[in-house]
Structure 1
Amino acid sequence: PAAFYCGLLNSQPMGFYSPSQLVQDAKRHDIEVRPVDINCSGWESTLEKPSRQGEIASTQPAIRLGFQRIKGLKQNTAQRIIEARNNAPINDLKDITHRAMIDKGDLARLTEGGAFKTLSGHRYQTHWQARGLMPESPLLGSQGANARTSVSTHIDETPVILPAPIETDDLRADYTSLGLTLGRHPMAMLREQHDLPFHRCKRATDLTKINHGRFVRIAGIVTGRQRPSSASGVLFLTIEDETDNINVVIWTRVLETYRAAVTQGRLLLIKGVLERKASVIHVIAGHIEDLSIYLEHFSLKSRDFK
């Protein structure tokens, strides 16, 4: 399974499942997924020796996310990083920035992608350290070099330790840069806020214990929409929460009533009737509410097919 997930991650963009869905599903199957790391990652995702215990985790390789997951990062920059660390271990942010000739834009992208966490601890600390890496200006000549040395020396002599980002800030940065997170699922965080309606919604795993024909309230992030021409106007929706995916059927009449929410919403609360046949479970939607405002600043996109 780990090799399968890794192969799909390296084949993106393709198919019905997004990188976020693949990573969430791998984690649910007890496969260890490791973050992009300046010391370990290749351009593509790779398999590594597992370190966790468990019936599956101990027998399956871990997946190391590759630099290609970082939005906008140039492949030749990643290749220079790999060559530099193969020649000598990375000492710190300044060392790898200089040896791999990382420009300002890619330095920011690597920082936002969390690639320097093993060097600096967290994104805020990396941002602070990166501000002190002043490239030499050809207009300033030796004065520019002296200024850079002066700033670097000042930073070395007076280190500043910044507090780590709060969980929601890290989550936003993960989705914006990587399109996925290895932290907690957004729904798990939203469900903890009892002033929001999500704590009253059933999770995907809860649906397995509910009888056919019962009313249910569910909520999740939209990961896919399908409206096959052979389905007579019926739309099939997939939403994801912290436990699994939920399949939702939206009849034409309901679709016309809640068209804006269905076609544009990223986070939906759905009231409907649960239907099951053996192990197959889906929800027939009756009422749909768009609560995407609670995902503001997250970069979450669905896969839409016709």
Structure 2
Amino acid sequence: FQEQLMQMAIDVAGFTAAEADQLRQAMGSKRSRQRMERLRERLYEGMTERGITGEIADRIFEKMAAFANFGFPESHSVSFAYLVYASSWIKLHEPAAFCAALLNAQPMGFYSPHTLVQDARRHGVVVHTPDLNASEAAATLEPCEESHHGVAVRLGLGSVRHIGTDLADAIAAGRPYTDMEDFTRRTGATLPVLEALATAGAFGCFEDVAGHALARRSALWAAGAVAQSRPERLSGVVVGVDAPSLPGMSLAEEANADLWATGVSPDGHPTRFVRPHLDELGVVTAAGLVDVDHGSRVLVGGVVTHRQRPATASGTTFLNLEDETGLVNVICSKGCWARYRRVARGAPALLIRGRVEKVEGVINVVAEKLEAMPVGGSLRSRDFR
């Protein structure tokens, strides 16, 4: 838009590139009308030299001046609209690629990696945890019959705690590894790195003494032993690698382990494991709000993903709660926030009683009472950004 107007000034008035840039700045200024008036004489002189006079010259200038009043926001709106359209198309037709791309672009945007993965899961995309011999440094795609369009997301090694980009690249370049000791000797991985990978289940590609996939607790047991192995020491002399028979992790424990190690739990949202208790309390899920009438009072609960208080909202705070079925928009008035301020600011998960508000297809819950909701796992909300 602005570039087109700059080219018009060059073509019809003989503007130089520098003068055209001054025109661009005038169009983007809060005082664009005054700045455009200052350029008027130069525009008319240039148009006269090229035989453009009278009513035609006036109409050209009027259109330029009028465009300066809305051209800057219009160009931005078109740019953002195009991004929204392209993103929506990719999310609809290639949801796995869309999810992987956003994960690889972190840190960014409004939503955390966990929320992005949960949304992908709700749309049929299978997301796999990191695997030492299957994962690249970043999130990738791999075939999976159970996933939407037969494509799943594999989390990258760089998503694991204590592993930065350089180490993740080095680990991926050294694949395949035969066992934990081989991995440690070749990469120089420290004990914290080994424990983080074990907690994330990344050593599941190896086998234990019974020939089964190496469980997380067994890998954690072995981490302390193999951490002593180094290239300058003889291989195969480390003792205490083979763990005794240990109970496997429950689904809830695995979800908590995933959240600690990667910040993402592909197979288990924290609210999923307390849903029976929430059902007893009468908590309505995010998906269930669709069937609740406007004006009804409900109890909702979930992990807090955002707390926002725009400067133009007159003290109103907006929260997002997430459960295993989706997101809940919560509107908290200035008075309600003040009444429950401590729990509202500090609790990682909340139970909120309030009134359902449905306007033009958007569902909100206007909060009346807030209380902490105990859940497993550790998710950090993105507050007041």
Q: Which amino acid is 1:103 matched to? A: T
> Which of the two has greater helix per residue?
2
Given candidates 65, 70, 87, the residue that maps to 2:155 is 65
Please report how far the alpha carbon of residue 136 of structure 1 lies from its aligned counterpart in structure 2 after TM superposition. Answer: 5.3
The 10-residue stretch of structure 1 (4-13 or 246-255) with the greater mean CA deviation from structure 2: 4-13
Q: Equivalent residue for 2:205?
A: 118
Matches within 5 A, 1:116-195: 116-119=203-206, 120-133=213-226, 135=228, 145=234, 149-152=236-239, 160-192=244-276, 194=277
Matched, 1:208 2:325: no
Task: Return the alpha-carbon distance in structure 1 between the equivalents of residues 371 and 229 of structure 2.
Answer: 54
Aligned residues: 285
Shift of 1:137: 8.0
Rounded Cα–Cα distance in structure 1 between residues aligned with 2:241 and 2:313: 63
Give the equivalent residue in structure 2 for 1:93: 180
Aligned residue in 2 for 1:13: 107
Q: In structure 2, which of residues 170, 184, 194 is the aligned counterpart of residue 80 of structure 1?
A: 170
Q: CA RMSD in A?
A: 2.4
Residue 217 of structure 1 aligns with which residue?
A: 299
Equivalent in the alignment of 1:273: 355
Q: Please, what TM-score do these two structures have when normalized by structure 1?
A: 0.85
Corresponding position of 1:263: 345
Q: Is residue 2:96 matched to residue 1:2?
A: yes
Identify which range, 124-133 or 244-253, moves more after superposition: 124-133
The DSSP-based 3-state class of the residue aligned with 2:202 is: coil
Q: What corresponds to 2:375 in structure 1?
A: 295
Q: Is 1:237 aligned with 2:294?
A: no
Return the alpha-carbon distance in structure 2 between the equivalents of residues 211 and 134 of structure 1: 58
| 2: CA distance, partners of 1:149 / 1:121 | 18
Q: Could you tell me which amino acid in structure 2 is paired with residue 102 of structure 1?
A: A
Write the deviation string for residues 28-60 of structure 1: whole angstroms up to 9, x where unpaired. 11111111110111111112223216xxx125x
Q: Is the 8 A contact 1:220 1:239 kept in 2?
A: yes
Cα distance change on mapping 1:282 and 1:71 into 2, 3 Å: same
**Aligned equivalents of 1:181 and 1:135: distance in 2?**
30
Match of 1:304 in 2: 383
Contact 1:74-1:106 within 8 A present in 2 as well: no
- The residue identity in structure 2 corresponding to 1:38 is L
Structure with larger Rg: 2
TM-score by length of 2: 0.68
For residues 145-195 of structure 1, give each alpha carbon's deviation from its aligned partner in whole angstroms, at most 9, with x where no partner exists: 4xx74544x757xx6332212233222221111112012211111122x3x
Contact 1:237 1:248 in 2 (8 A): yes
Q: Which moved more, 1:94-103 or 1:231-240?
A: 94-103
Structure 2 CA distance for partners of 1:199 and 1:188, relative to 1, 3 Å: farther
Letter aligned with residue 69 of structure 1: S
- Change in 2 beyond 3 A, CA 1:211/1:270: same
Cα gap change, 1:136 to 1:62, in 2 (>3 Å): closer
Task: Identify if the C-alpha distance between structure 1 residues 92 and 223 changes in structure 2 by more than 3 Å, giving closer, same or farther.
Answer: same
> What SS does structure 2 have at the residue aligned with 1:80?
helix
Which segment drifts farther, 231-240 or 116-125?
116-125
CA displacement 1:192-247 (0-9 Å, x = unmatched)? 2x3x6765200011110111111101111000111101111111110001100000
Aligned to 1:58, the other structure's residue is in SS state helix
Identity of aligned residues (%): 36
Give the superposition deviation at 1:27.
Answer: 0.3
What 5-or-longer segments of structure 1 have no aligned partner?
none
Deviation track 1:103-146 (CA, whole Å, cap 9, x = no partner) reads: 323212211222112224321011122233253589xx9xx74x
Structure 1 position 107 matched with structure 2 position 194: yes
RCO higher in 1 or 2 (8 Å CA, sep ≥ 6)? 1
SS at match of 1:127: helix
1:237 alignment partner AA: L
Q: 1:48-96, CA deviations, whole angstroms, 9 ceiling, x for partnerless residues?
A: 223216xxx125x3111111211221333322322221xxx43222222
